[in-house]
Chain A
């Protein structure tokens, strides 16, 4: 009897510890995601602002749009191509920011007592679709940049903005599958709740 009680006490303690550990991990992740989100917002905003300045006030701004991104050569060559390319970069950056925002929203709406909710399933589905879209848009922009510039070495840091299209598509597909499993979990939970 005493042995059973002590085992039950140890189990309760372990559950409590694991719960606090999970909560700690979630808090750490939330802080990281906030940092990513703010960083991405700054990046998108800075790109848009520099683009506006380079077109309207000072064309020299194209030589350092954001963190060394130098597209002055493209601006000199053709204004239209420059605008199209930078707008694409801004759109990609905005998409990534929105993706991080959706991940942040998951952390903000997550209820550990009842994790399977329609809202959560919807968020996971939206994240997967957005990630796949980012991957494809990235591919298109890369193809466009490749067509426009070839292997021009003078275009500084452009590659850093066009990274990971295949990774995004792969990530999106995996998230989509997880979303389907989550949806099934949601159905199971609803069925369990309606089982008397």
Chain B
């Protein structure tokens, strides 16, 4: 898929573990893992908002478009 999820990059920049992010965002580890590995088909605005708030970043920092 041409949409790349850079969640792991932002987590590394903020030095935040998946467990910590999961607690802060209120998502299960399984769902966060789906998002991190790029298997997700859709992201809710509420989820994106919570992740941006937890990682103090913009949606563009997490999502990136790369033409195939």
Q: Which residues of A does B touch, CB under 8 Å?
A: 190-191, 194-196
Contacts and interface: CB of A to CB of B under 8 A. Distances in A.
A195 B41 CA distance: 6
Interface of B: 27, 31-32, 34-35, 39-44, 47
A190 B34 CA distance: 13
Nearest to B42: A195
A194 B47 CA distance: 13
| A interface SS class | mixed
Contacts of B31: 196
Nearest to B48: A196
20 contacts: A190-B41, A191-B41, A194-B34, A194-B39, A194-B41, A194-B42, A195-B40, A195-B41, A195-B43, A195-B44, A196-B27, A196-B31, A196-B32, A196-B34, A196-B35, A196-B40, A196-B42, A196-B43, A196-B44, A196-B47
A190 B39 CA distance: 11
